[in-house]
Chain A
């Protein structure tokens, strides 16, 4: 019985020293002091009865139960509140958890005393000591009851911390970004530091918020990069790296500073490496997404390109870059909605930018291959290239032509951003099997834009021919055109394409200069009378000009008379030579005075002739005028349309036209017109017309051959034509073009094709 009483007494003692042994519903103060005698008595009794291990076990059980059923649920309840933003929720949760933790620590200290006094050997949970055991229980309870969206709260806590750290130095605000209090009254930094210390002491930083911090840092960095780089192609990488250290890593160091589980250096070193890598990767990815625009904005975007070049070796993103840029080109550039000129401009910018990114040229070949393919399929590419080469005003291609040295594959190229020390072999990545064989000829280390453009076609002749046609158009449409500039371009083109190809153009330009002199001489000629019409003439060496469009036109008598006089004067000046007039070519400057208005216009000879006839007779029937001008009615009607649209003629009834002396509406007043329709029309036969004409010419050869030799294969015909028929400056006809032509003749039943041989129908 006495023993029972003793037990009871001892239990009361135990409850006094370890109040937690009480039912947890009754409030108890674990920190209440106890009497030394009580403690010693308890220890004595425990030791005597060998109950010390059991007591330790009981206390730990109670701690665990209290943590699991009371403390941790209370902790997590902070996470369920509706307001999850900012510092407060997590700060409060940690604060109350920590208070409880401190109380448990007191119990642990008493247990330590018990262990010393009673010589307990058993370690709860096999931990090093009781403190570690407490932490273990705390961690497992916390994680065991983890809230599904606990990261919302932890994230907003640390995000607030990052924002406080990330204050733009140039824009120091007197108010805290988090609590909106004046800086002096703000406790945020203190809250933050206190929470970090408490978590560090309880040792669950990594298990509870490690992942949050990683995710948050990544998102925060990515956001910052995106904000920084948006529509801005400056260089940012060094600034970003500095920002990463001064803001993100500094903030993380403050957090990990209190972490008791790892040394600061150990934990941060890894994290820092991860973050720097992530920064480089993300920045490069963001830039790759913008790359099409960056390319288009070249050279303004050069800093961004330099950044990418710097970052690429630190990432594995080259294949991504190639793929994305190629796709962007296809979706944004290579479709019918984009004009050829724009594609060419983009193409030049691409060449220049990719040269910055990858001086080896491999990337360039891979990315531009689809552009080549596409440009080849566009009909007006050559024309656009040639016209932009010679266009007025600042222009990429013209600039390139001025800059480019004559291509000589043998001379060593000294590339400023390449010296032997930094030389590396060509990288091998972009899939070499995909490399188009046609472009192999391009010297990779010397990317010459004009050559690349010409190589799209593989034919200088085609290129030069197009240039010749455009030059002819320009010379004929503007008599006063800047021949000096044209000569300068011609010299540049000669450097590039060689004299022989451009010889024809040289003669054309000389014709213009000669014409000016001859006109001058003729005007000074006392025999020559210029009363009727001020006539000046472009005298061309027809053999050297591209074929002119043939159009029949009978000019007005006064003009014809003037031309006759001019021809006579020319014949006198240049013995044994005469002139063949191209009546439909030229440009006429005229003034038309009507009752209520006067117009000054530049028009084509056919337009001028029409209006001159209306001066003689104010009403004409279409048919009648067509006869006089020897111009087919359908064409004439279209030309009259020009005067109708200017309100000078009017159609009084079907196919009968009359001068409109007075305007009905007041819209047309004195104005200087320059006629667009006239300007845009080429005086030259188009390349297709030329080819067609050539083919028609060879048709007579083919006929003759077949009449003599009965039947011939395609190859034979082509071969014989090459020997006899193809002459002159235009490109000769390929075998496949010939085949198409002959097939057409077969369809027209002018030829018979059987057993691979062509013959004439009997």
Chain B
């Protein structure tokens, strides 16, 4: 018997590689989107800080805008710096 797979259509879900399931700011799942967005993934990406915490980009930007003086990570209170890994 010779079996030839002509086409295999598989199903997979995509997932952010992050150390938590939910965003620490909006409490929504990372694989969903922030409260301001409708579409997940490319349209509502995650960003990491140098402290290794990560958030929805829209959430941390909003947070930082509300903190004009000391721009800190809302989780660990270290100074927030984007980690461009």
Interface positions of A (Cβ within 8 A of B): 476, 479, 503, 506-507, 510, 514, 533-545, 548, 559, 562-563, 567, 570, 574, 576-583, 585-594, 600, 605, 608, 611-612, 614-615, 618, 648, 659, 661, 683
Q: How far is the CB of A670 from chain B (nearest CB, A)?
A: 15
Interface string of B30-62 (1 = CB under 8 A from A): 011000001111100010100000000000000
Q: In the complex, A255→B34 CA distance in Å?
A: 92
Provide the bound-state CA to CA distance between A500 and B5, in Å.
Answer: 41
* A542 to B, closest residue via Cβ: B13
Closest to A683 in B: B11
B3 adjacent to A592 (CB under 8 Å): yes
Contact A578-B31, Cβ < 8 Å, known A544-B40, A661-B1: no
* Complex-state Cα separation, A587 to B10, whole angstroms: 7
CB of A726 to closest CB in B, whole Å: 15
Residue of A nearest to B29 (CB): A543
Q: Considering residues B9, B32, B48, which has the most beta carbons from chain A within 10 angstroms of its beta carbon?
A: B9
B18 contacts the other chain (CB 8 A): yes
| A581 contacts B11, C-beta separation under 8 Å | yes
Residues of B within 8 A of A (CB): 1-18, 29, 31-32, 38-42, 46, 48
Closest to A585 in B: B11
Residue of A nearest to B41 (CB): A541
B14:A577 contact, CB within 8 angstroms: yes
In the complex, chain B residues whose CB is within 8 Å of the CB of A545: 13
Q: How far is the CA of A362 from the CA of B69 in the complex (A)?
A: 68
How many residue pairs link A and B with beta carbons under 8 A? The number is 143
The distance in angstroms between the C-alpha atoms of A582 and B7, with both chains bound, is 17
Interface centre among B4, B13, B17, B46 (most CB of A within 10 A): B13
Q: Is the CB of B1 within 8 A of A618?
A: yes
Contact in complex: A589, B31 (CB < 8 Å): no
Pick from B2, B11, B38, B46: contact of A615, CB below 8 A.
B2
B4 interface neighbour in A506, A507, A562, A590, Cβ under 8 Å: A590
Main secondary structure of the interface of A (DSSP, over half): mixed
Choose among B1, B13, B18, B48 the residue that contacts A659 (Cβ–Cβ < 8 A).
Answer: B1
Query: Across the interface, do A536 and B7 meet the contact criterion of CB distance under 8 Å?
Result: yes
Contact between chains at B40 and A608 (CB < 8 Å): no
A533 pairs with B1, CB closer than 8 A: no
Chain A contacts for B12, CB-based, 8 A: 537-540, 563, 567, 579-582
Cβ of A507: which chain B residues have Cβ within 8 Å of it?
A: 38-40
User: What CA separation (Å) do A593 and B5 show in the bound complex?
Assistant: 11
Chain B residues, Cβ within 8 Å of A577: 14-17, 41
List the 7 closest A-B pairs by CB distance, nearest first. A542-B13, A585-B11, A589-B7, A579-B12, A593-B2, A543-B32, A582-B11
Q: Please determine whether A537 and B3 come into contact, CB atoms closer than 8 angstroms.
A: no
Q: How far is the CA of A369 from the CA of B10 in the complex (A)?
A: 46
